[in-house]
Structure 1
């Protein structure tokens, strides 16, 4: 075997460029396949590991009347539950009276653990730990003083900053939720010693289930298990609620009962007095001023006592707000982002790898075909078929293994970690990216199939021929008239070199098809990458530019009462106009499918409403019909319905009603539905009461938005204000997290395209070395010899680019459909610059390959190339 082995190493040494290109193609394919497919699960696993280390609660419970140890015991009656009480409230404080989520700190807290980024935990009564966001965005520093507003109701107002930290309940550093204080937007959280909060009872109860911690927090199994636990907890607290109310009412009710008894006694005494006076006057009661005054006083006292009872009932009314991890700020958005990456990874790398595998198969096939004479020689020397085939199989195996192993390892340990680092807008996460053996073995299998499989298949085929036939060169393909020749006026005007190039293109059809496929694949991948970037960035622009035209929504405390809110708005310098709408949350069902948390808007004035929201289908404006429901495209896609279909709509605790889909409107962010007042009345048998104002503002700054929201909360009798600018920023921020991923796609696609083009050109030159040497001997200059090859490449590149545009659009549409989330649909968008960049890159690659080819052809050994094979 020594001569065979030496020959293999000599073959590698003599064609290092081809061997390296083969490895690079396999490496890039495996790197993208394994790395990108591991990115989405890696992001989820890393956050899952982080929140488990921080002991993030599975369920959080808020109560209007607080919690006691008995509430903790009630929660722990659910199997596996471990509950913990905390003091918590929203307060105002800081430099600009910002809304702050304030927690009470005590030693021994085990859930929702605070992770210190700098400084230490509070020890003394006058110390505070702030959110890391307060340091990064609001420039607070260790040792500074932090002052709360008087309305915070703390034992003292000023505290010394001793630390900064992160909480697992706030994984998104760009959002901290909303509140009913300040301007309604929570800026950051803070911890002070809980005794400083002057609260009689805990206001937050967290529950963690040890049995759920082995499940991934984003898995369906975890979500289903949590839903069951929440149902069990609600059942326990439905029993606990009356007892809690009774506890709260016990002391004040005893006092009221005592006052009632005293009042009843005074009433009896007054009745006795009246009877005595009546007896003395011979049965004729003559009321005196004193008795009249006492009667009025007793009546007033009774009225006051009755009101006190009503107030007590209102004050002790206990309602619970349930939160799972999905309800925490940014938690679902993070999951949606990782799901989008996973969805893209299920398509893009697979296509990428298929192109790489196809080119690899072609390369190995051509390599073995070129070695016909060697195979024939070894066969003539007496080597067996297995020994000869092993030579080329080992060659292909080496290239496949080296490329697959390096690419797979690099992909698994580099790309997910790079993407995780790019997600630094979230809390510092602990990287938890296990080696993806399944993806690696799949990539390895495909790589070996493309290399070893091709080598074995072609070698076995060649070995079927006799040594004498193998040692002779293959007869060149017969030239045939091509279609272009039949167009005589055009054919006559072509130069000799052009005619030769076109004939050669169609003479070697398999080479032409493979080159076009390779270039089309590369161009398509580049276009897809740029198109993903354009589509993702365009989501917010189209939603808040083409669909929504309002700048804020103001939720009213009482439906139909907007006088004070409008007065506050009118005082704002940026205010333009507003329109009242009824805003409801509904569920829409069809068959076994259901879409939850749908925002239903019913305008009071349909004509005015068009200035605030554009309803359209296929670029045509829609009007709200007198019957039926207009749904957004996302709902239609999820339920598989269209215009004319019947759906079931559930509002609150009411029974579901059957409604006809009147139209499907374009919408890219959020889940929306619309009805006219008449349609609303017909469907729900009640009038749509305006509980929200849609507001147009003139380019408000962030400070102006903050001031307006604060004034509306304080003086406008509103529940809160939401600005589209904040929603737009959130969507843009979340979407922009995919930009680095897209950049990686574009980079890998560009490298693959270059390697593919170089490799195919290299094969072309190697196959035609005798032909090129012949024309060089005939007197062709170096530039003419190069153009002999390059002219064909230019034509194939242009054909590949045209085909690649179609491939790119098809791939983009499919990926965007897969990447859509429950809240976002990405509008397919491809800016002109994306076409220009993709085409320019392919042309640059062609030019570089042309330059490398030119230098190679200048140094052809014509004598050696033209020697007779015999």
Structure 2
């Protein structure tokens, strides 16, 4: 009998392949997206961590304004937290008017920041050089001669290209940082042997801490540990800035003083000669001594003015492209918590409905089996096996396909970085969650309906449930409209409200899929609007010119307006509570007059404009959120090597980057130092790439101009390329789910109403009239689902984008009208496709069999 009953189970599947496959597909799609997207964030992080471990990326790079000596290296090595410290040389070279390169020293046995050889071989002699792979775009090839202008720090000028490389110091494949030479942008980097440099002091010391081993890159635990190690290192270098200054100027001062004493002795001897006896030669010698002495005194005066050394500690987040990569990963991980979860919820809901209706339809069979003496367990086994097969097949296949495809596909879409080797993480916990959800949808619904039905007596089960009585609907009370409807239309509208459960479930299913698609389009719009909104609603200037002297006047016919301001990179942290730091751009305009033409300081709710006062600073919205700050909150700001306390006087809207605004008077109040504007915020006529580069070159030729940057055009993707690829997946899978859900709901609807539809056909309705009889209901439910789906999509989009705000990014919460149109059109298209399939299915109804089977 068990064998016979198993055959009955298999027959149930084979007789309703469409229904079984649709259940498997719904669960599979939900599991595929849920497991695949949830695994993407960890897989991206694992791939990066593997790459950095493989190339031994340093935890920190140290530099100094006066160079780094063996004594500096010794201080670093004496730190008990330091495992490896490697010094290296570096020079920035303006190779031509349009080309700037950074040349680093290469050591064959380097333990840190190991290069990845793409082609050729590493330098073997002092005249060989390897270039960044980005230099290939400039036409460089292996075997070519490479000429550099005479450069302080390098022994030679002529080299031969022997290879192309990638460096773990540059995660981005397009950006190489900024400089005060050429156009202000570094074009590429290069490496020559360490022996090719003639620098006494090192430019950099790469550091690897021994307590970061085992901590994954980009995680909070890793960042906190490096921050602690940096603070320890800074304490050890507390006295070094003054000592280093003394080391630099003491020998030079001693040499100057010695030369002055020698000149004084010579002058004393010569001045002892009486005026009358001084020959022209003696007089000339005395004058030369006086001139030389004056020059030496001036040199001594300038030397004494030499400032103390400034030591800079740059962790991995300052590496070009590093933070963008992890911000992208975190944004994807944040979205993965919500969107796939809601996707899976819709899949579970529809599956639950389908299974429960299937069992409800088999009431007579269940009653018959009970009457024949079958136990409840044996009767239940058929539906449990059916549910287990559907649930396990859908969730396991979907989970495995999602794990093996989506993370790797998204990793491949991140084309703006040099990470080439994908290392996946198998998400056991997410796969188990998907299987659990799939079994709740199938096995859970079977269990609930079986428990309810098996409590009834066999005679009650074999008796069909009485059909629901028709009721007057609200539309009937609108007589002018109701009287204009024909009989078929009236029946359709009455049926809608007669079976309220079916109506609600259909609307919820359609609304869920429409909402998912709209949320996907909304995510795309928010990602695409990030940079444009930042530079239309908030920042209205195009570039920043950094100056060596605040009194310098810059001029160019392409500059339409400029504003003096102090622009510095500072570190902001809360004065109490959880320790967290943020790198922030501090902007202190010289005057607040016409400031709104350069920066709009608008409240996050767009209610009013904040004004700079002499009593506090204004923070941007995301920074305030990260610091848990509001008006009146006290924060700690580290400016250079000095930490000061500031009061928050306002919070303003901002989308990309952290900014802090204050007045010159408040700056002087908190720091006790004189305010000096370091930069000019500039507005330009022309913003095309060639025009910007020409302006940069012209400005850098002017005396005292250190750097020119264009914030809008150098901000690349702000960590959103991966999000864009995820959005395409969201929209595509949401559309697929919508098609399957519509088909499944329509299929269940027809199977439940087979006797009703057969009766209609027997009464003489044509095939098109029978199709219209069903399709009319579907059209109304589809339109209602679309409208409700828009509401779900807006709420889901807002929730997702708020969760996706990582790093210094605050996404604009916008959905453009094409998103509403496309999500609606796709839903309507799928409804039409299902309508065509339904038409042919209704044409082939066996009326007598359907009527007798009931």
TM range (shorter): over 0.9
Cα distance change of structure 1 residues 23 and 818 upon mapping to structure 2, 3 Å threshold: same
Cα distance change of structure 1 residues 659 and 209 upon mapping to structure 2, 3 Å threshold: closer
Cα distance change of structure 1 residues 166 and 854 upon mapping to structure 2, 3 Å threshold: same
Stretch of structure 1 that moved more, 511-520 or 299-308: 299-308
Deviation of 1:213 after TM superposition, in Å, equals 2.9
Q: 1:374 aligns with which of 339, 359, 365?
A: 365
Deviation of 1:502 after TM superposition, in Å, equals 1.2
Decide whether the 8 Å contact of 2:538 with 2:599 is kept in 1. yes
Deviation of 1:701 after TM superposition, in Å, equals 3.2
| Structure 2 counterpart SS, 1:61 | strand
Decide whether the 8 Å contact of 2:621 with 2:653 is kept in 1. yes
Stretch of structure 1 that moved more, 407-416 or 631-640: 631-640
Distance 1:453 1:717 in 2: 75
Q: Which residue of 1 aligns with 2:466?
A: 475
Residue segments in structure 1 that go unaligned for 5+ positions in a row: 278-285
Deviation of 1:834 after TM superposition, in Å, equals 1.1
1:63-78 correspondence runs (5 A): 63-78=64-79
Deviation of 1:675 after TM superposition, in Å, equals 4.0
Decide whether the 8 Å contact of 2:241 with 2:311 is kept in 1. no
1:602-617 correspondence runs (5 A): 602-617=588-603
**CA deviations over 1:223-272 (Å, ceiling 9, x no partner):** 1111122223233344556665565567545544544654676688799x
| Structure 2 counterpart SS, 1:539 | helix
Q: Which residue of 1 aligns with 2:8?
A: 7
Distance 1:356 1:212 in 2: 42
Decide whether the 8 Å contact of 2:41 with 2:332 is kept in 1. yes
Q: Which residue of 2 aligns with 1:695?
A: 682
Q: 1:87 aligns with which of 76, 86, 89?
A: 89
Distance 1:786 1:540 in 2: 50
Q: CA RMSD in A?
A: 2.9
| Structure 2 counterpart SS, 1:802 | helix
Deviation of 1:416 after TM superposition, in Å, equals 0.3
Q: 1:635 aligns with which of 623, 642, 659?
A: 623
Distance 1:415 1:655 in 2: 46
**CA deviations over 1:501-526 (Å, ceiling 9, x no partner):** 11111111111111111111101000
1:132-151 correspondence runs (5 A): 132-135=133-136, 137-151=137-151
Distance 2:643 2:185 in 1: 35
Cα distance change of structure 1 residues 541 and 104 upon mapping to structure 2, 3 Å threshold: same
Deviation of 1:815 after TM superposition, in Å, equals 0.9
Q: 1:841 aligns with which of 813, 822, 826?
A: 826
Q: Does 1:532 align with 2:523?
A: yes
Decide whether the 8 Å contact of 2:180 with 2:708 is kept in 1. no
Decide whether the 8 Å contact of 2:244 with 2:308 is kept in 1. no
**CA deviations over 1:122-178 (Å, ceiling 9, x no partner):** 22333221111111x323222223222234663332322221110000010121111
Stretch of structure 1 that moved more, 682-691 or 228-237: 682-691
1:418-437 correspondence runs (5 A): 418-437=409-428
Q: Does 1:768 align with 2:770?
A: no
Deviation of 1:414 after TM superposition, in Å, equals 0.8
Q: Which residue of 1 aligns with 2:647?
A: 659
**CA deviations over 1:708-756 (Å, ceiling 9, x no partner):** 323433423022111134235444xx32332111000001100111111
Stretch of structure 1 that moved more, 594-603 or 494-503: 594-603
Distance 1:737 1:368 in 2: 44
1:87-126 correspondence runs (5 A): 87-93=89-95, 96-126=97-127
| Structure 2 counterpart SS, 1:346 | helix
Deviation of 1:450 after TM superposition, in Å, equals 1.4
Deviation of 1:99 after TM superposition, in Å, equals 1.5
Q: Does 1:189 align with 2:205?
A: no
1:241-256 correspondence runs (5 A): 248=248, 252=252, 255-256=255-256
Distance 2:612 2:846 in 1: 81
Q: Does 1:670 align with 2:657?
A: yes
Q: TM-score, normalised by structure 1?
A: 0.91
Distance 1:82 1:310 in 2: 40
Q: 1:446 aligns with which of 430, 434, 437?
A: 437
Q: Which residue of 2 aligns with 1:854?
A: 839
| Structure 1 counterpart SS, 2:218 | coil
| Structure 1 counterpart SS, 2:168 | coil
Q: Which residue of 1 aligns with 2:375?
A: 384
Stretch of structure 1 that moved more, 825-834 or 4-13: 825-834
Decide whether the 8 Å contact of 2:519 with 2:796 is kept in 1. yes
Q: Does 1:230 align with 2:218?
A: no
Q: Which residue of 2 aligns with 1:282?
A: none
Cα distance change of structure 1 residues 165 and 93 upon mapping to structure 2, 3 Å threshold: same
**CA deviations over 1:66-119 (Å, ceiling 9, x no partner):** 34444433322223421112221111226x541111012232122111111112
Distance 2:238 2:591 in 1: 42
Stretch of structure 1 that moved more, 698-707 or 366-375: 698-707
Q: TM-score, normalised by structure 2?
A: 0.93
**CA deviations over 1:657-679 (Å, ceiling 9, x no partner):** 55352x43322112234345566
Distance 2:643 2:534 in 1: 32
Decide whether the 8 Å contact of 1:585 with 1:651 is kept in 2. no
| Structure 2 counterpart SS, 1:792 | helix
1:257-296 correspondence runs (5 A): 258-259=258-259, 262=262
Deviation of 1:549 after TM superposition, in Å, equals 1.9
Decide whether the 8 Å contact of 2:492 with 2:776 is kept in 1. yes
Q: 1:582 aligns with which of 560, 566, 584?
A: 566
**CA deviations over 1:350-395 (Å, ceiling 9, x no partner):** 1111111111111111111111122112212211111111221111
| Structure 2 counterpart SS, 1:347 | helix
Decide whether the 8 Å contact of 1:43 with 1:416 is kept in 2. yes
Distance 1:421 1:784 in 2: 51
Decide whether the 8 Å contact of 1:649 with 1:659 is kept in 2. no
Q: Which residue of 1 aligns with 2:577?
A: 592
1:25-40 correspondence runs (5 A): 25-40=26-41
Deviation of 1:632 after TM superposition, in Å, equals 2.5
Cα distance change of structure 1 residues 72 and 350 upon mapping to structure 2, 3 Å threshold: same
Q: 1:864 aligns with which of 843, 849, 853?
A: 849
Q: 1:394 aligns with which of 385, 394, 400?
A: 385
Cα distance change of structure 1 residues 162 and 424 upon mapping to structure 2, 3 Å threshold: same
Distance 2:602 2:70 in 1: 55
| Structure 2 counterpart SS, 1:432 | coil
| Structure 2 counterpart SS, 1:66 | coil
| Structure 2 counterpart SS, 1:141 | coil
Distance 2:404 2:489 in 1: 49
Stretch of structure 1 that moved more, 593-602 or 852-861: 593-602
Q: Which residue of 1 aligns with 2:804?
A: 819
| Structure 1 counterpart SS, 2:12 | helix
Distance 1:630 1:212 in 2: 36
Distance 1:235 1:124 in 2: 40
Distance 1:514 1:265 in 2: 106
Deviation of 1:207 after TM superposition, in Å, equals 1.3
Cα distance change of structure 1 residues 823 and 110 upon mapping to structure 2, 3 Å threshold: same
Cα distance change of structure 1 residues 58 and 687 upon mapping to structure 2, 3 Å threshold: closer
Distance 2:249 2:664 in 1: 43
| Structure 1 counterpart SS, 2:810 | coil
Decide whether the 8 Å contact of 1:92 with 1:152 is kept in 2. no
| Structure 2 counterpart SS, 1:355 | helix
Deviation of 1:801 after TM superposition, in Å, equals 0.5
Q: Which residue of 2 aligns with 1:412?
A: 403
Distance 1:761 1:213 in 2: 57
Distance 2:289 2:593 in 1: 57
Distance 2:500 2:32 in 1: 31
Stretch of structure 1 that moved more, 118-127 or 735-744: 118-127
| Structure 2 counterpart SS, 1:828 | coil
